[in-house]
Amino acid sequence: MRQIHKGGEKSFVDYAGMTIDWVERTSGEVFTAEVFVGCLGASQFLFAEATRTQQLPDWIDSHIHMFEYFDGVTEIIVPDNLKSGVTKAHRYDPDINANYQHFMEHYGVAIVPARAISPKDKAKVENGVGIVERQILAPMRNIIFGSLGEINAAIKSRLAILNAQPFQKMDTSRAKLFELLDKPALKPLPVTRYQYATWKKATISLDYHFTLDDCHYSVPYQYIGKKVEIRATNKSIECFHDNCRIAVHERCHIKYSFVTVTEHMPKGHQEHAKFSIERIQSWAAKIGADTMVFVNHMLNSRAFPQQAYRACLGLLRLSNHYGDTRLDKACHKALTAGATRYQEVEAILKNHLEEVPVNNTMQDAPLIAHENIRGADYYQ
């Protein structure tokens, strides 16, 4: 059955059977490039480029370059059942690779793979591949290229000539039909290029974080122990559970660092995270001057102030039970007695000792002479 293609409706994509080599000048190593071919349905306007592999990153990049060459996006892409695009071929409901699916959503294009072993489903590109091989790749077979860029520069100049040459049985060319039929009907390119992403499975740990490339990223704590999928680009990290995105972060490139969103934390952790030296000191100052001095004394008595946070918070919470006035007096009593621990202030309050004056008489009195006191000479 003759297929009638509307302008801007379909683009057909495939790899050529013919490859082309290039030689790395520094090492002399020979590499083989694959050749990606795209063809528009209505005008048969062609695109071609050399890639290192047929793997998913190169496959998606070639689609992006193709749409940029067309300066627009078709409604449908018709690929072969290449593993890079289709993870499981099926006559009615094929499984599309997750990255390819996200590319499709980014560009607003539908992916409709050709049926397996049905080359007529993409006859346009099959024909286009043959033309590219005969008119572009075959004349280049004896040229020694030094890089992939050199190959693509040669393909680009020949591709422009190919698209501009007239058809054998029509008084027009692919380029003219493209301007007439396809170009006006193409959808505009998205504002930003699609960024290739890698996917990884992970389990959310007890601290409601997952790890990627030695960096730790948070998710809502309700997902602790859940299996998730991580989508990572150079700029962002996304986390999905049951195909729903539950967290997104800007990518961190500092190893062993934690990227934590406050809203992902349990309420208790959120409250604890709010405390800092400034907040502790502010709370102590509201209770009283002696409490402020005692708290600073506790903070300064530790090698790291963070080690005193819990003791300081415990001390300040004593005001909830004993009141600000009694706590401030107890801190004054503790400072006078040379105490530095939370437990000592708590004992003063429990025993109502904050009003009892400190007795320094015994500490300041001189020693009394007595026959049982031998003195230093006894031990000579």
| pLDDT, tens only, 303-339 | 667 667 778 888 999 999 999 999 999 999 988 888 8
Which of 106, 112, 103, 107 shows the shortest CA–CA distance to 78?
A: 112
Q: Considering the chain, what is the average pLDDT of its residues?
A: 84
**DSSP string for 98-121:** HHHHHHHHHHT-EE-PPPTT-GGG
Query: Candidates 3.40.50.300, 3.40.50.11540, 3.10.450.50, 3.30.420.10; correct CATH number of 10-185?
Result: 3.30.420.10
pLDDT of residue 2: 59
Q: Please indicate, yes or no, whether the overall pTM of this predicted structure exceeds 0.85.
A: no
Instruction: Give the mean pLDDT of 353-359.
Output: 75
318 vs 300: CA distance, rounded Å:
21
Instruction: At 281, give phi and psi (nearest 5°).
Output: -65, -40
**Structure token digits, residue 24:** 């790395």
66 vs 81: CA distance, rounded Å:
19
Output the CA torsion sign for 55, 59, 61, 65.
positive
pLDDT of residue 211: 92
pLDDT of residue 151: 95
323's enclosing H/E stretch is none
pLDDT of 117 over the 50 cut: no
Residue with tokens 């070639």: 62
pLDDT of residue 378: 64
58 vs 239: CA distance, rounded Å:
24
pLDDT of 155 over the 70 cut: yes
356's enclosing H/E stretch is none
User: CB neighbours of 70 closer than 8 A, spacing ≥ 6?
Assistant: 11, 40, 45, 47, 178, 182, 183, 186
Domain extent listing, the chain: 10-185, 198-270, 275-362
